[in-house]
Structure 1
Amino acid sequence: MVYRIYTARPNDIDRCAHVLAEAFCDDPLMVGIWPRERARHTALPSYFATSLRHFHLSGGGVRYASTEAGEVSAVSVWDGPSLWKPPTATTLRALPGLVAALRARTAMALRIRAILDAHHPVARHWYLANVGSATAHRGLGAAKELIADKLAQCDENSLAAYLVCTDPANVTYYEKFGFTVSERFSLPNGSNLASMWRSPR
């Protein structure tokens, strides 16, 4: 299938958020925040919409692959150098939407966020915060095209890339793009995560 890659605009947020919600509905990190399946599946669309709108869209790092019919098939969320940790003012603007999605799980989400931040590298890099495909397009190469497209830009600008692999089964997938495991750590629920780093080529 042929996909076209676009940089998301404000009117693309809801479509992109729903794709990410589908992709991460049973992700170990999300399960760590929302152990109850029904609550997790209900919260994820608004959680991702708030996150995209306030933390990622303005930096131009929200990209999506679209079919010729205009269907969003996969979404990647990248934060540029020095943009992975948002300023306090941005977090405060996002807070009402995040709390509405997280509700009683807010404290756990903050705890997990602190763990991720503690393991985040200091060196300049592009951070792949999220990448996922819609269920109907899983395994068809849309996410692969999004990742390869951004990594080509990283190489052109001599910048590294970083991600946290939340599912051990996906480590080999990212290794195919040149990422290597730099560190392993765990979440409070026992889920094992892997920090992965890719130097520019």
Structure 2
Amino acid sequence: MPITTLAATAAHIDACAAVLAEGFADDPVMSSIWPDQNRRYRALPRYFAASLRHFHLPGGGVQIATDQHDHIGGVATWDPPGQWEQPFSRTLCAIPGLFPALRARTPAALAIRRTLDEHHPHTPRHWYLANIATPASHRGQGYAARLITDRLAGAPDTAAYLVCTREENIRFYERFGFTMSATFNLPVAAKPPMWAMIREP
């Protein structure tokens, strides 16, 4: 099955948000922000749409993988080198989109964000894979792998970083040269473990 990768635009936001919401519906990070499943499922499309619009698309690192019918089979949100820390002005613009999704869960989201940022490498300059997901209809067909290999091939002299949120996915990222750099826990009652992974140039 042919796979095409291309840069996402504003026209792709809703479709990309739907794919990410499906892929992260039961992710440990999102479950820590929204413990209530029904509330989480309702909030995620709006949350990802606001994140894409205000944080990731402006950097130009959002990639999609499509099938022969132009259906989206995968979405990867990469922050380019030097752009993973979002400026206050951009965060301010995102609040009207993020707050309706977060509401009372805003303090939990901020605490989790701080923990993730504390473990984020500040050097060397690197691409940051913030999120990657495929819809159920396209899983296991190479869409996520293609999105990763295309980005890494396009930046062979630049490091890459991600946080793996599920232990069973560690081997998947190791296939692309990522290695464990640290482990830590999120600041919630369940303390789910996270695995920071680096791919050197």
What range is the shorter-chain TM-score in?
over 0.9
Aligned-partner Cα distance in 2 for 1:22–1:56: 18
Q: Deviations over 1:104-135 (max 9, x none)?
A: 11110000000000000011100000001011
Q: Deviations over 1:140-162 (max 9, x none)?
A: 1001000000011121xx10000
Aligned-partner Cα distance in 2 for 1:164–1:154: 19
Q: Name the structure 2 match of 1:137.
A: 138
Q: CA deviation at 1:82?
A: 1.1
Q: Name the structure 2 match of 1:57.
A: 57
Q: CA deviation at 1:59?
A: 1.2
CA RMSD of aligned residues (A): 0.7
Runs of 4+ aligned structure 1 residues displaced above 6 Å come to: none
Q: Secondary structure at the match of 2:149?
A: helix
Q: Deviations over 1:166-194 (max 9, x none)?
A: 11111111001000000000012311001
Aligned-partner Cα distance in 2 for 1:81–1:62: 13
Q: CA deviation at 1:98?
A: 0.7
Q: Secondary structure at the match of 2:155?
A: helix
Opposite residue 168 of structure 1, the aligned amino acid is: E
Aligned-partner Cα distance in 2 for 1:35–1:2: 38
Q: Percent identity?
A: 51
Q: Name the structure 2 match of 1:191.
A: 192
Q: Deviations over 1:63-115 (max 9, x none)?
A: 00011111111000000111001100000000111111111111100000000
Q: Name the structure 1 match of 2:34.
A: 34
Aligned-partner Cα distance in 2 for 1:106–1:23: 21
Q: TM-score, normalized by length of structure 1?
A: 0.97
Q: Name the structure 2 match of 1:181.
A: 180
Q: TM-score, normalized by length of structure 2?
A: 0.97
Aligned-partner Cα distance in 2 for 1:135–1:85: 31
Opposite residue 139 of structure 2, the aligned amino acid is: R
Aligned-partner Cα distance in 2 for 1:161–1:39: 33
Q: Name the structure 1 match of 2:74.
A: 74
Gaps spanning 5+ residues in structure 1: where?
Answer: none
The count of aligned residue pairs is 198
Q: Secondary structure at the match of 1:177?
A: coil
